[in-house]
Structure formats: structure tokens, C-alpha cells
Amino acid sequence: MPDDVSIARALHVLGVVVWIGGVAFVTLVLLPAVKRMKSPEDRVAFFEDVEGRFASIARWATVLVGLSGLYMIYVWDMWFRFLVPSNFWMHLMVAVWAVFTVMLFIAEPLFLHRWFNECAKSKPEQTFRIIQRMHWVLLTISLITVVVATAGTHGGFSF
């Protein structure tokens, strides 16, 4: 029977898969499909509907990732790893998590949602380019972090 830390690790990975997988879907599938729609109004409505649904899933996933990650750090007493240069991937994981958490829980509800709707009405093409670039940057940083953190947890960095 798995112990509590094994369960926490499994939930952590599950949360990352759902969250970063969703970012990949939005970046690689949804945004290109939305860009091909003829009407700017249809683009905005469709994108808002689909990404709005994903945002609530991503919020739960980031909470799961944050809590399970904190739990593992606490139980295994891994705070010292943040001081070891070869564990730089720990900082990457926390930084990516923090960026998405701020975006999902603070920036989007307070101003990004409104900004997107206003800009999409007046400059739909430019707005979608900005959104696409932002998603590509976030996806790239996220995937690099997944690769580096996976290698780091398995002894890939020892200097």
C-alpha cells in the first residue's frame, strides 16, 4: 500500500500533467483553431468559453500541485535543497507555479479578463498575437521546467 508521500507525489504529477497539458492544448490546438475563425466576435466568444472552462480546472490543478509539493518538502525536510546550486530546478518549479498561480487567481480575475475583452473588440488580430506569444512563452518555460525538474529529481545535475 502506498504511503502518504507516494500519494502526494502521484497527485503532484497528476496536477502538473493536467495543468501543463492544458496549457499545451490551449497553445498548440485551441489558439490556432480560434485564429482561423472568420468573425472576431466568434473568436472572442469561443476562446472565452473554452479557456474559461480550462481556467477553473487549471486553478484546481495548481492548488493540488502547490499543496502536494509543499507537503513533500515539509515531510522530507527538503528546505535545504533551495540552498544547493545543483537543485536550481526546485526554484524553477516554484517560479513557474507562482507565475501561473498569480495569473489564474489574481491577474486574470482582476484585470486580464477585462483587458482581453476590451482589446479583442478594438484590435482582435493584435490581441490574439499577444495572447499566442504569451501562451508560447509560458508553455516553453513550463516544458523546460518539467524536463529539468524530472532530470534533477533523478540525479541529473551534480555540480
Q: What percent of the chain has pLDDT over 90?
A: 68
**Domain positions in the chain:** 4-153
pTM of the model: 0.90
Specify the DSSP element, H or E, that contains 105. none
C-alpha to C-alpha distance for 43 and 63, rounded to whole angstroms? 29
Q: Tens of pLDDT along 98-145?
A: 999 999 999 999 998 888 888 888 888 888 889 899 999 999 999 999
Specify the DSSP element, H or E, that contains 20. helix 4-25
The one-letter amino acid code at 61 reads A
* Alpha helices for 76-123 (secondary structure H): 88-102, 113-122
Q: Which three cell numbers stand for residue 37?
A: 475563425
C-alpha to C-alpha distance for 146 and 157, rounded to whole angstroms? 14
